[in-house]
Amino acid sequence: MSSLFESIKQGLTEAVEFERGTLKGVKVDKISITPLHTYTPPEIKAIRAQHSMSQKVFAEALGVSAKTIEAWESGRNAPSGIANRMFAFLEKDDNLFVRYSVVIR
């Protein structure tokens, strides 16, 4: 058999062993991801207020347009997964923007 075939076969065998947790000599850390919360318009507005920002400043800090913030807060559009994850960070950390020099006070 060709060495390419043997290489593919070995890779598939290792993948199966990895999935089963039986691959020798490899340390695997299992992680869990917190489910993504979909933020509602009032929750988004509350997070913006928590950070004492206008829609325009909040939009600049997040890298979106002010119209996007307005649409999220009015319910015309829904934030994407990454935006929802960012809202979760912002909800838990009042200093996130300052800590990472997004906002300079």
Per-residue pLDDT reduced to its tens digit, 58-78:
999 999 999 999 999 999 999
Q: Which of 9-23, 38-52, 81-95 has the lowest mean pLDDT?
A: 9-23
Q: Are 75 and 41 contacting, i.e. CB atoms less than 8 angstroms apart?
A: yes
pLDDT tens-digit profile of 28-40? 678 899 999 999 9
> How far is the C-alpha of 95 from the C-alpha of 62, rounded, in Å?
14
Are 68 and 93 in the same domain? yes
Do residues 52 and 92 both lie within one domain?
A: yes
- Residue 86: inside a domain, yes or no? yes
Pairwise CA distance, residues 66 & 62, whole Å: 10
Q: What is the CATH number of the domain that holds 56?
A: 1.10.260
Domain assignment present for 82? yes
Q: Provide the residue range defining the domain that includes 18.
A: 1-29
Query: Is residue 22 located within the same domain as residue 46?
Result: no
**104 in any annotated domain:** no
Q: Is the dihedral of CA 84, 89, 92, 98 positive or negative?
A: negative
User: Do 22 and 65 fall into the same domain?
Assistant: no
Looking at the structure of the chain, the number of domains it has is 2
Tokens standing for residue 10: 């070995």
- Rounded percentage of the chain residues whose pLDDT exceeds 90: 70
CA–CA gap between residue 46 and residue 12 (Å, rounded): 49
Whether 35 maps to a domain, the answer reads no
